[in-house]
Amino acid sequence: MKRIYIAGPMTGLPELNYPAFHAAAAKLRALGHHVENPAENPKPACGTWHGYMRMSLRQIADCDCLYMLPGWRASRGARIEHGLALDLDLEVRDFEELAC
């Protein structure tokens, strides 16, 4: 079992792309993984994008692997998460691979 963080675009998308995050989390959990799904995070006290990112970056630090949802390259936050994962030498995969 791996601890996996799901990264992908949210800002500006319908329902903040939460349905895609929830579907990915369900699939990964069905495979027996522990999943950190940012779409399940509570609203930070400040309620800002920066607050959400601080929460996400802490979660990534505790993970073994990141799965990147489609469209992540167009997301500032997902690109930051991707860069941190690479800097921490975590495994990074596209969600379609499901081989983490």
Cα angle 80, 33, 83 (rounded to 5 degrees) comes to 15
Domain count within the chain: 1
pTM above 0.85, yes or no: yes
Closest CA to 8 of 28, 36, 49, 38: 38
Q: What is the pLDDT of residues 44-97, one digit of tens each?
A: 999 999 999 999 999 999 999 999 999 999 999 999 999 999 999 999 999 887
Q: What is the pLDDT of residues 1-56, one digit of tens each?
A: 899 999 999 999 999 999 999 999 999 999 999 999 999 999 999 999 999 999 99
What sign does the dihedral 37-2-58-5 (CA atoms) show? negative
Amino acid at 86: L
Residue 47 structural domain: 3-97
What pLDDT is recorded for position 95?
A: 86
What pLDDT is recorded for position 97?
A: 74
CATH of the domain at 46: 3.40.50.10400
